[in-house]
Amino acid sequence: MTKPRPPRLPVAFILDGQVSLGGHEAHALVPPVDIVEDERGWRLVIEIPGAIAEKTTIEVKDRIVVVRGVRRATEREGGVFLRLERVAGPFERALELPEDADADRARAVYQDGLLALDVPKRASARGRHIPIRRGEPEKT
């Protein structure tokens, strides 16, 4: 007798890290991320609607930033679900930071289903503006 297969997750999520749930194989969600770089650093915006803020963590070790948490299940207010596509359960996303990232100064904000993680560049990597003065060159 074969085990029933778990339901397929929506295409919007990449599958990663298998988890055993009651003898069935399931997958942790890997939420989508947008990454923007400017002269000051990087902004990572991770889409995690329905995440429970108290159960969401961000860890950095050896330039790898890992975001873990749990998305809450959809609550039913009477009636029977005819379609249930919003997936609940654990999620995890791991990304490697560039060598010149200053993870010790990173800041995160969660609002409206989006987790924004700002990681500045190290001061040495940002370069330095050298002002130009008018006048005679200094003699050496």
- Looking at the domain 32-74+87-123, which fold is it? Immunoglobulin-like (2.60.40)
Q: pLDDT 10s per residue in the chain (140 long)? A: 555 554 443 333 333 343 333 444 445 789 999 999 999 999 999 999 999 989 999 999 999 999 999 998 877 788 888 888 888 899 999 999 999 999 999 999 999 999 999 999 998 766 667 788 888 777 76
Say what the pLDDT of residue 110 is: 95
Handedness of CA 41, 103, 30, 86 (dihedral sign): negative
Say what the pLDDT of residue 85 is: 82
Is-contact 27 47, C-beta < 8 A? no
Is-contact 64 95, C-beta < 8 A? yes
d(C-alpha 92, C-alpha 28), whole Å:
7
Say what the pLDDT of residue 139 is: 75
Say what the pLDDT of residue 27 is: 59
User: In the chain, what are the domain boundaries?
Assistant: 32-74+87-123
The DSSP line for 37-93 is E-SSEEEEEEE-TTB-GGG-EEEEETTEEEEEEEEPPPPP-SS--S---S--EEEEE
